[in-house]
Structure 1
Amino acid sequence: MGQGLNRAIGPRTVHLCVDMQHLFAPGGPWPTPWAPRILPVIVELAARAPGRTLFSRFIPPHAPEALPGSWRHLYGKWREVTQQELAPELLELVPELKRFTPPARLIDKTRYSAFSSPTLLPTLAHLGADTLVLSGAETDVCILATLFDAVDYGYRVVVARDAVCSSSDAGHDAVLGMLSQRLSMQVEVADAQDILSAWRTDAAA
């Protein structure tokens, strides 16, 4: 259950790539060491329909005090990741993906889920989206948070298994293992080549 595609992927699909930024690349302050391994796969997904691709970017606060509650504790520990200290270029997409913008759009967020951005839902509505293909980082944090919000909003969710990664192998495996057992009516997990083979796009994509 939860493995493979249940049906074809239609032209109302949007590819949502989460947080593939220098911030999370090897050498960044929050590295996902095997992000380079999934990057060529994400490039293939983005190239299929650049105009229906969204790239979220995780934007830390200027200072810990700018966010409430436990976020202050997080950025108190990681003050070097706040905008007071962070090099601005670390917030940018990696160049292999930045070249798709435009027509691909940027969705900036300050929380884990891409749906915390006030621009995501209006953008999805403008694109007439009914299905989201998820890629990016991290499987067990921002991907997972985005996935549950997408399900709550009624989207069909397809996770590109070979286009998501985490700094925690155990966390990554745990999420994919959970999805193999749960949510099979709303979330499908498939390799990118199977997604691309099943994805019917129109000329406007």
Structure 2
Amino acid sequence: MHEITRAVHLCTDMQNIFAPGGIWETPWMTKVLPTIEAVAARYAERTIFTRFIPPLHPEDRPGRWRHYFKRWEQATRQNLHGSELELVPALARYVPPARVVDKPAYSAFTRSGLYDLLVGKGVDTVVLTGAETDICVLSTALSAVDLGFLVVIVEDALCSSSDEGHDALMTMYRMRMHEQIDLLKASELFELWPRE
């Protein structure tokens, strides 16, 4: 792997709703939070946090999303407290200079304006951290690949509510997508991506 230069740290959905006690609790979020915080602190001006924003009502989403949010109606905005969609406090303190991009779906590139933001900054590499490995991080990684970005996944800065799903994705990235996706530990990232 060569030196990382025109990159952005894209941290996916580290929100209170996924934190311990949240509706969609991701049990080992607290385990990876210090590593994600270290990445965000080092590259605060190059960090973008995404937030998954559910609809106000299930009927506000099309097709199977409507069915999904009828099942998870307690996670619609009509039933949530505002703070549940906010970033966890340990990361929120980096905004600004870090930015926040809201998204209505799994991929950070879906109806969010993220692609135009990255192109406008001259970004060619997306460094991914966050939750969940096998849902939103996966969807975002595949979208980034489709859009032509090099994707760097910080493997010790991801969490999932499924150990099996996490492990399967790590295997897939290594075996199937090694030309478009690089897996690094945070310590390796810090060596390859100098501070600006």
Normalized against structure 1, the TM-score is what?
Answer: 0.94
For residue 59 of structure 2, the aligned residue among 62, 65, 68 is 65
Secondary structure, aligned partner of 1:122: helix
Shift of 1:48: 1.4
Gaps of 5+ in 1: 1-5
Alpha-carbon distance in structure 2 between the residues aligned to 1:91 and 1:119: 19
Asked if 1:156 corresponds to 2:150, the answer is yes
Partner of residue 99, structure 1: 93
Equivalent residue for 1:7? 2
Specify the SS of the correspondent of 2:34: helix
The superposition leaves residues 128-167 of structure 1 with CA deviations (integer Å, 9 ceiling, x where unpaired) of 1110110000000000000000001110100000000100
State the match for 1:33 in structure 2: 27
Give the conservation status (yes or no) of the 8 Å contact 1:16–1:133: yes
Distance (whole Å) between structure 2 residues aligned to residue 75 and residue 107 of structure 1: 21
> Offset at 1:201?
3.4
CA contact (8 A) 1:133 1:159 kept: yes
Gapped runs of 5+ residues in structure 2?
none
Distance in 2 separating the partners of 1:138 and 1:73: 21
Corresponding position of 1:142: 136
Pick aligned residue for 1:123 from 117, 123, 148: 117
* CA RMSD between the two structures: 0.8
Tell me the secondary structure at the aligned position of residue 33 of structure 1. Answer: coil
Moved more, 47-56 or 117-126: 117-126
Q: Return the alpha-carbon distance in structure 1 between the equivalents of residues 2 and 17 of structure 2.
A: 35
Alignment correspondent of 1:192: 186
State the partner residue of 1:3. Answer: none
Tell me, in whole angstroms, the C-alpha distance in 1 between the residues paired with 2:143 and 2:105.
Answer: 12
User: How many residues are treated as equivalent by the alignment?
Assistant: 196
More relative contact order in 1 or in 2 (CA 8 Å, sep 6+)? 1
Is the 8 Å Cα contact of residues 165 and 172 (structure 1) preserved in structure 2?
A: yes
The offset of 1:98, in angstroms, is 0.3
Percent identity of the aligned residues? 49
Deviations 1:33-66 (A, max 9, x none): 0001100101111111211100000000000000
